[in-house]
Amino acid sequence: MAVKRSDTNWCGWGWANTRYDFHGQRDTFLRWLGKQLGADLVGTHVPPVNPEDVQLPSVRLSEAEAADLIAAAGGQEFVEQDHMSRLMHSMGRSLPDLLRLRRGDVKHAPDAVVLPNSNQAVANILRLCVERNWVVVPFGGGSSVVGGVDAWDPQGRPVVCMDMTNMNRILAFDPENQTATFQAGIYGPDLEAELAKTNHILGHYPQSFEFSTLGGWIAARSSGQQSNQYGDIHDMLESCVVITPKGELVTWKGPVSAAGPDLDMCISGSEGTFGVIVEATIRIRPKPEAYQIKAVLFPDFEAGTAALRAISQANLKLSYMRLSDAVETTTYLKMGSGNQWKELGMKALSPFGFKDQKCVALIGTEGSLRDVEYDVSRALAICRAHRGLSVGSSPTKNWHRDRYLHPYMRDDLLDAGIATDTHETAVPWSKIGVVQKEVREALEAELGRYGQKVHVMAHLSHSYPTGSCIYFILMYPLNQDDPVGQWRPIKAAICDAIAKHGGTISHHHGVGIDHKPWLSLEKGELGLSLIRAVRREADPSGIMNPGKLVD
């Protein structure tokens, strides 16, 4: 599945011709959501501007400078300066990014987009950019939701966006040691397709899977939907090659080392601020024999949380553990997600006394048939001990089918004048309840200052023995006069509520621009100084993705 950037939505998620499927229930859902928000959504249509009408800042490279860049990249075919290429590489896919794009409010855009096809080309481009003091923004799928790929420099220097998606090949396959080496610009589906040829998988499936790259996963320290079993991307990383303005870094390739700090862990989460990730050797595994996932209904979020904690601390090898709170459970029932969800409610609610606080969990795994049956049966037994009711596999089928389609709903709701944003954190099990409560209250208070309501959903995923990721989804009526200005205090309210209880500013989205103000609360000033020191050593001129992660 090669992704042509021209086939994607320039101001939204994914493919340009794909819309979220409400299964014929769009107007019904909008009426219901409108009641929650006190807004009339049916019939509202706020379309984006035409991309040709977006005014981009002028290119700051002279013809001679552009010619030098073309020579460094290896030819004209590896450099783009046309309007659409600059526009589509100007920012990522966060809510404020989309609000700016849809309104044509693009104040920063790359002066050129380079698409290298070799490590040598990357090194040549970086050498030229150091000489000319041009900024370099590494760019994979462009799916960042934290301002991580914005074509912007605090000092106002020219910006070269380095699109890595030409570097998309498998370089080595080692079945004996269960590793494979890929160029970093390969998209998720293409990587898995290569491994499928030998009946192997990586097992990393973030929601951005179709439109994100291996290098982007590492740079953002990504987590996939089956991280409970396979780990996060840093657990899958055996070694990598990073080209920095100061030279090439090749990390040690092997199972484990006590020879000082782990440089792979230093690169993971560096967000393109140390250099350009060009290759990665990853830990692969045979394709699983069997797969099983069940839906479990709990009377309330507290009971479900206790069950997930018990499962996590029992060290069961589950790949799926996701618990929706009552608001998210109800919302999915209203979204036209298929008759199975309605069947779940009809089947379980009346006979067993589940009330308005009912929550649904998805519990499952993959592996050998024997292991799958054993682990799922043990997990379901733990759920029963916490008042959970298994309602079978049929309610999970639509979720599994549509798991990469949910981001498309954000674009549809923006057309209806509704903002949809996400934020995630990770906290100890003992703090999940208070963080969920206080984030919701902080959002209600912030929107309430303007007489508006907010619809806040939450779910647990990516669970660990000591705690879990909490993922928040919020919907609220847009202020069409200043939507980005409206968003900023909303974002701050979420981050402040999380930071108050010691939650991480990000479990898997990264830092970028949007989360940077809160990073010192987690890392401390000395920790930030250490990150800055590594950055200065790798990039003395400060050209690599400036303004992101740390100043």
Alpha helices in 56-113 (DSSP H): 63-73, 83-88, 95-103
The 3-state DSSP composition of the chain as helix, strand, coil percent (nearest 5) reads 40, 20, 40
The two three-digit tokens of residue 522, written as one number = 């987690």
User: What does DSSP assign to residue 56?
Assistant: P
Contact 491, 446 (CB under 8 A): no
Question: Which residue type does 399 have?
Answer: W
Query: What gap in Å lies between CA 124 and CA 115, rounded to an integer?
Result: 12
User: Residue 150: which region, alpha, beta or left (left: phi > 0; alpha: psi -120 to 50)?
Assistant: beta
Residues 244, 259 contacting (CB under 8 angstroms)? no
**Of 501, 499, 550, 543, residue with least CA distance to 525:** 550
Residue type, 414: L
Closest CA to 308 of 260, 362, 348, 351: 362
What values do phi and psi take at 185, rounded to 5? -90, 10
Q: For residue 214, which of 154, 155, 267 has the smallest C-alpha distance?
A: 267
List residues with catalytic annotation: 471
Task: State residue 541 phi and psi, 5-degree precision.
Answer: -85, -10
In whole angstroms, give the CA distance from residue 447 to residue 458: 18
Contact 534, 126 (CB under 8 A): no
User: Encoding tokens for residue 396?
Assistant: 């999970």
